[in-house]
């Protein structure tokens, strides 16, 4: 007698061993980690203004998305520790985004369109791709180097370093300035979920826009913010250096940087976990 799927439980491949655990489902129940202390997050971001036409070419046609206002790209490296869903473990990410609006038959929304989110943990990649529609990929993302007012973040793949993210001349904000820092609030995140149809490779099993609204939960118990001058440099890759990702890196390497718009590093502790289970499809 074969196994049956349990009602109301989340599954991922391989399904043969029961419901799958992750940020939105623990051994005890769904949303087991929602509202718990998330531990520590350090986030480094650099923004720059680029060419509108270059960004418009990165938006899928006919899905309701369009560029919003200034063509501003933000590259963000995040370093997370003591995560409840990983039993106290952590992982690092590097994401590239720009502001968009969505106008559909039913829904209207605006936020940051996440073009790609590199992560250094397969478990986080699988849950975010399958369940939420994040465009996640693997990369080597070591801890940043922080020294004398400068933070240097890098990411690579199989020994090839494909990006340098640097914030220099950092000045720490006062505690009151940090609490009111606009970067803490963030914005809704939009994603384009696409899964190919097996055996009919030009067609999709799933193809739609999803949105992760503003995070739920209380403010962090501790916030430190530094502002500075930022630069980001993607390094051109060959097929031999990044066989499955070189077109992505080279697209970013070719983006025109018309003007840097500031950079910051944020270090937060506590504040209640948001498991992102309120992510949903836009129509």
pTM of the model: 0.96
Q: For residue range 44-78, list pLDDT tens digits in order.
A: 999 999 999 999 999 999 999 999 988 999 999 99
Nearest to 78 by CA among 22, 38, 110, 36: 38
Secondary structure class of 132 (helix, strand, coil): helix
Beta strands, E only, 68-199: 72-81, 91-103, 108-119, 136-138, 145-147, 150-157, 160-172, 189-197
Per-residue pLDDT tens, the chain, 283 aa: give them: 899 999 999 999 999 999 999 999 999 999 999 988 888 999 999 999 999 999 999 999 999 999 998 899 999 999 999 999 999 999 999 999 999 999 999 999 999 999 999 999 999 999 999 999 999 999 999 999 999 999 999 999 999 999 999 999 999 999 888 877 767 677 899 999 999 999 999 999 999 999 999 876 667 878 899 999 999 999 999 999 999 999 999 999 999 999 999 999 999 988 888 899 999 999 9
Could you tell me whether strands 65-67 and 91-103 are parallel, antiparallel, or unpaired per DSSP bridges? antiparallel
- Asked if residue 44 is part of any domain, the answer here is yes
For residue 208, what are the domain limits?
A: 39-276
Q: What does the buried/exposed string (b/e) look like for 174-195 if buried means 16 or more CB atoms within 10 Å of the residue's CB?
A: eeeebeeeebbeeeebbbbbee
- Asked if residue 20 is part of any domain, the answer here is no
- Asked if residue 5 is part of any domain, the answer here is no
CA dihedral 269, 270, 274, 275 (to 10 degrees): 80
The Cα–Cα gap between 139 and 155 comes to 6
Q: Structure tokens of 187?
A: 């914005």
The reported pLDDT for the residue numbered 179 is 75
- Asked if residue 25 is part of any domain, the answer here is no
The Cα–Cα gap between 34 and 256 comes to 40
- Asked if residue 17 is part of any domain, the answer here is no
- Asked if residue 65 is part of any domain, the answer here is yes
Instruction: Determine contact, residues 224/273, Cβ cutoff 8 Å.
Output: no
Across-strand partners of 87?
A: none
- Asked if residue 283 is part of any domain, the answer here is no
Q: What does the buried/exposed string (b/e) look like for 224-250 if buried means 16 or more CB atoms within 10 Å of the residue's CB?
A: ebbbbebebebbebeeebbeebbebbb
Q: Which residues have a Cβ under 8 Å from the Cβ of 277 and sit 6 or more positions away?
A: 24, 30, 31, 34
Domain count, the chain: 1
The Cα–Cα gap between 204 and 199 comes to 10
**Greatest pairwise CA separation for the chain in angstroms:** 66
| CA geometry: angle 179, 33, 143, nearest 5 deg | 60
Please report, for the domain that includes residue 43, its CATH number: 2.40.400.10
The reported pLDDT for the residue numbered 221 is 78
- Asked if residue 19 is part of any domain, the answer here is no
The reported pLDDT for the residue numbered 217 is 66
The Cα–Cα gap between 76 and 115 comes to 12
Instruction: Determine contact, residues 118/155, Cβ cutoff 8 Å.
Output: yes
The reported pLDDT for the residue numbered 79 is 98
The reported pLDDT for the residue numbered 222 is 87
Integer-rounded Cα radius of gyration of the chain: 19
Residue 200 burial (10 A CB sphere; 0-12, 13-18, 19+): exposed
The reported pLDDT for the residue numbered 260 is 98
The reported pLDDT for the residue numbered 175 is 84
Instruction: Determine contact, residues 192/135, Cβ cutoff 8 Å.
Output: yes
């Amino acid at each position: 007698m074969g196994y049956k799927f349990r009602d109301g439980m989340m599954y991922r491949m391989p399904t043969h061993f029961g419901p799958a655990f992750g940020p939105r489902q623990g051994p005890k129940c769904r949303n087991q980690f929602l509202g718990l202390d998330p531990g520590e997050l350090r986030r480094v971001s650099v923004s720059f203004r680029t060419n509108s036409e270059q960004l418009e070419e990165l938006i899928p046609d006919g899905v309701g998305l369009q560029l919003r206002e200034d063509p501003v790209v933000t590259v963000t490296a995040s370093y997370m520790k003591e995560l409840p869903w990983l039993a106290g473990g952590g992982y690092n990410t590097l994401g590239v985004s720009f502001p968009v609006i969505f106008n559909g038959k039913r829904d209207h929304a605006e936020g940051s369109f996440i073009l790609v989110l590199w992560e250094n943990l397969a478990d986080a990649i699988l849950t975010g791709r399958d369940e939420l529609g994040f465009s996640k990929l693997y990369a080597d993302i070591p801890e940043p180097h922080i020294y004398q007012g400068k933070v240097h973040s890098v990411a690579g793949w199989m020994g090839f370093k494909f990006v340098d993210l640097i914030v220099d001349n950092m000045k720490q904000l006062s505690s009151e300035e940090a609490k009111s820092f606009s970067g803490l609030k963030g914005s809704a995140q939009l994603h384009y979920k696409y899964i190919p149809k097996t055996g009919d490779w030009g067609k999709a099993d799933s193809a739609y826009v999803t949105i992760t609204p503003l995070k739920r939960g209380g403010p962090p118990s501790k916030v430190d913010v530094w502002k500075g001058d930022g630069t980001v440099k993607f390094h051109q890759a060959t097929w031999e250096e990044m066989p499955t990702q070189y077109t992505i890196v080279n697209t970013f390497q070719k983006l025109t940087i018309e003007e840097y718009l500031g950079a910051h590093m944020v270090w937060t502790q506590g504040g209640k976990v948001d498991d992102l289970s309120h992510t949903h499809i836009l129509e």
